[in-house]
Chains A and B, each alone.
Chain A
């Protein structure tokens, strides 16, 4: 009898131990899994910090040698070891701002049309898909198309206007850049414009406002900060865009004398000069001057992105 109870107790204990061991193992798995998730989030932070540190370390030689004056040195001549980033700063800012100026009316129109006039239906689906496809086409394909279609077109226009017919240049790259950044501003604008409270719009309609007046005096002021953030984010895109610009900008590091020559003549942006000269850079100072350009680009885009995202989160929390 006692033997029987003993075996039962023993078996129970064994089962209990087994269960405990199992749950301990599972607890270990669980904690391991949580740790893994945390580690991956940390990896992300480490990557960004690592990118920044690498850029600073590798460009330290040029930061130390050239100082802040590097940014507005007007001559970039690797042969005689003179480095100034001013031509590329001008090229980058000029292409980006012209592209933005061209693209803003179109992105705004798309955002208003899809957000306010016609949010549903086959026509708006068509437009939405078009915008998504434009964002999907790789930039090297835009560059190739611009090189073989847009450049001859601009060249013949320049011959007509009696300007030096380069074809390639700041204007050409701004045009292709404008097409590429339209989707970024537009897709953000659509979501923001849809967030306008309908009471505000209905109130304005009840006061007898026309649709145009509602859009101009209710929707646009309400979404203004968000739309500004959209412009900022597309500016960030335009500043860092490399391939399409590299292929059509003409790649000269010399600074043009008049504004007109600058606009229609070849130039260089920060990204394009890195793409062109990085593998050719044969001495440390040249290489680190190029990396400093990358560092400037990185910092500017980081700042722009953080400001833009912050505006958007503040807007959506209201």
Chain B
């Protein structure tokens, strides 16, 4: 606990410094209001050095804004100077107060203010979520009906039309991606949890981190050169390979983390009964960690079903209903992207309906995952 000693020492040093140097006691409230009104000049009341520094900085900002003739710099520069001098004068005045009771009162008030500030900032995040969700539900829910779900988009100028092609396309591509990536991801995850010390595991772990951070558009470019260009056409297969690469890191990490949490005695007991290694893994270890792996898989599906960037250069998009996996295929996020950036109102409405469906699907998957993890007490 070297750290805590240092902490205590530095605290003690600050305390002693505070009580020896400070001379005359100054009123904090007066210091604060003086600098609120007079700015850097008001700072002279509590600290002369600070007053000089802030006045010089203010003067420099005035000079700079005169030279460059930018009112922008003048306005924001002066606001910054004012705020800094207010905080500075309050803090220096606080350090001069000798009465412990009075100091405690201010410290408690500070603590309370900080708590309120943290609370407000933390819960401010709910505002954008609610605004976005409400707006999309309001715009999208009126579009969705049976016709919408069972027809392909209408050409420009005609009303009606639906998103059947995108629904089918998204479903097919995500299923194909899952079929490719779940076995690979689970196998690699088992390897990482079983052989954590080997060199290969180190590099594989590094690669999982890298893959998790790779921008999805880069995956799209690479799959374009791996599959689309040699074959000569955009295809649903290439789209699902791109999605599979996006899914891999999540599946691997969730498998690895879940299996690492299982007690070794499970594996040892099974091995001591003479059960071969692959059966121990597939019949004992994986079923024990099944809920964790399952929730990882569902999270990864929820993530890739909304991915657009890797699909632009691979699956491309298709205004007609198509089940051919070697041809271009539409998907929900791609449909939203193309129709949202189009200039037609009917297409916008179609995109709102599609957004609503996509959002409902993704949020449902997330909520189901939460229920699973809570029921089996998995930590992800």
Complexed CA–CA distance, A127 and B337 (Å): 30
Q: Is the CB of B7 within 8 A of A217?
A: yes
B126 beta carbon closer than 8 Å to chain A: yes
Q: Mark A182-197, 1 if CB is under 8 A from B, else 0.
A: 1000000000000000
A170 vs chain B, min Cβ distance (A): 16
What is the distance, in angstroms, from A206's C-beta to the closest C-beta of chain B? Answer: 10
- Residue A275 at the chain B interface, CB threshold 8 Å: yes
Determine the distance from Cα of A236 to Cα of B214 in the docked complex, in whole angstroms: 9
| Interface residue B333 (Cβ < 8 Å from any Cβ of A) | yes
Q: Which residues in B have their C-beta under 8 angstroms from that of A274?
A: 217, 221
CA distance A140 to B114 in the complex (A): 36
Instruction: Give the Cβ gap from B318 to chain A, nearest Cβ, in Å.
Output: 14
The chain A residue with its CB closest to the CB of B305 is A138
**Which residues of B are found within 8 Å of A242, using beta-carbon distances?**
215-217, 308-309
Q: Which of A139, A207, A306 contacts B206 (CB 8 A)?
A: A306
B307 is an interface residue with CB less than 8 A from chain A? yes
Chain A interface helix/strand/loop/mixed: helix
Query: In chain B, what residue has the closest Cβ to A178?
Result: B128
Residue contact A301 to B11, C-beta cutoff 8 Å = no
- A294–B313 CA distance with the chains assembled, in angstroms: 13
Highest count of chain B CB atoms <10 Å: which of A48, A108, A131, A142: A48
- Chain B: interface secondary structure? helix
Q: Binary interface profile of B, 119-145, with partner A (CB < 8 Å = 1, else 0)? A: 111111110110110011000000000
Are A222 and B3 in contact, CB atoms less than 8 angstroms apart? yes
Q: Give every chain B residue within 8 A of A241 (Cβ-Cβ).
A: 215
In the complex the two chains form, is A134's CB within 8 Å of B125's CB? Answer: yes
Interchain CA distance A55-B117 in the complex, whole Å: 47
Partner of A182, one of B125, B187, B305: B125
Bound: A243/B341 CA distance, A: 11
**In the docked arrangement, what's the CA distance between A132 and B312, Å?**
27
User: Does A316 interact with chain B (Cβ within 8 Å)?
Assistant: no
Q: Does A158 belong to the interface (CB within 8 Å)?
A: no
Are B200 and A279 interface neighbours, CB within 8 A? no
Contacts of B206 in A (CB 8 A): 306
Given A138-B307, A213-B107, residue A30 in contact with residue B125 (CB < 8 A): no
> B277, A33: Cβ atoms under 8 Å?
yes
Interface residues of B in 9-67 (CB under 8 A from A): 11
Interface residues of B (CB under 8 A from A): 1, 3-4, 7-8, 11, 72, 107-108, 110-111, 114-115, 117-126, 128-129, 131-132, 135-136, 184, 187-188, 190-192, 194, 200-201, 203-204, 206-219, 221-222, 224-226, 245, 248, 252, 276-278, 281, 302-303, 305-309, 312-313, 333, 336-337, 340-341, 348, 351-352, 355, 358-359, 362-363, 366, 370
Other A-B pairs beyond A145-B136, A247-B340, 4, CB < 8 Å: A148-B340, A240-B216, A243-B337, A247-B341
